A = this chain, B = another copy of it.
Amino acid sequence: MIRTVIIGAGNVAQHLVSAFAKSDAVEVIQVYSRSKENSSNLIDSSKITNSFSAIADADLYIISVSDNAIHEVSKNLLFQNKLVVHTSGSVSMDDLENQNRKGVFYPLQTFSKSKEVDFKSIPICLETQNESDYQLLETVGQSISDKIFKINSEQRKALHVAAVFVNNFVNHLYQMGNDICLENHIPFEILQPLIQETANKISTLSPKEAQTGPAKRNDTQTINAHLSFLSDATQKEIYKILTKSIIDNGKKL
């Protein structure tokens, strides 16, 4: 068993504790949490500490705290030359303090505390400073997920930006759809099957192949009708810029 300490008690930390509990290869021997109560529903309270000096000896330390606390937490560790990884999509591996061997263990998914996730299908992006540490991290990843990818810090940065587009920004467009429905006394549920199908299509078609709509057809009449229908300035602006981008895109190869 790979003896692992998880440092942090947020969303990702809690999902990792649950996932490793079902793994044959990894044992979470301790969780560090500033307030002990946060994790007591997931692990025996004797295994929770709120003191850096009480952190146990382990094969792997996973820091799962907010992005801007990663460096500080890694500096507070009182041991050297151990494998210490963080779980962030947007923080470079080099942000970890030099006294330990560095790595990244980044599960690319949107986690809600209330919603159970199936870790098996969550891609986990791995990076290590030393090639010799990669295998251990790969074993840890494979014990909870079928999708392990070797991704360096520069690629992870790109991936995080891409994730903002397909997750945060997409969700914001869902909200605009929702707002337009509400203003016109239309139940948003009418759009649900379309939203699902739009996401499903992408598993068999490339986004370029899947593109439809007035912008794709350069259907100026419908585009202008939509623009005069929209009264909200922000919605109008977003409609215009995305329409222009789809039209320009159609002109490329």
**Interface residues of A, Cβ cutoff 8 Å to B:** 67-68, 90, 108-110, 112, 115, 117, 121-123, 125, 147, 149, 151, 154-155, 157-178, 180-181, 183-187, 189-208, 210-216, 219, 221-222, 225-226, 229-230, 234, 237-239, 241-242, 245-246, 248-249
Do A151 and B186 touch across chains, with their CB atoms under 8 A apart? yes
- Decide: B246 and A198 in contact? CB cutoff 8 A: no
Report chain B residues within 8 Å CB of A230: 161
Instruction: Report how many copies the assembly holds.
Output: 2
**Contact A198 B239, beta carbon cutoff 8 Å:** no
**Contact yes or no, A241 B239, CB < 8 A:** no
Are A158 and B175 in contact, with the CB atoms below 8 A? no
The answer to whether residues A238 and B239 also contact, given A170-B173, A194-B108 and a CB cut-off of 8 A, is no
- A68 and B222 alpha carbons, distance in the complex (Å): 10
For the A-B complex with A108-B190, A170-B173, A195-B202 known, give 7 more contacts whose Cβ atoms are closer than 8 Å: A157-B229, A159-B186, A162-B178, A165-B239, A170-B170, A170-B195, A171-B198
Cβ contacts under 8 Å, A225 to chain B:
90, 157
Selected contact of A193 from candidates B121, B170, B186, B239, CB within 8 Å: B121
Asked if A174 and B207 make an inter-chain contact with CB atoms under 8 angstroms apart, the answer reads yes
Given the known interface contacts A110-B198, A169-B242, A183-B158, the answer about A193 and B163 at a Cβ–Cβ threshold of 8 Å is no
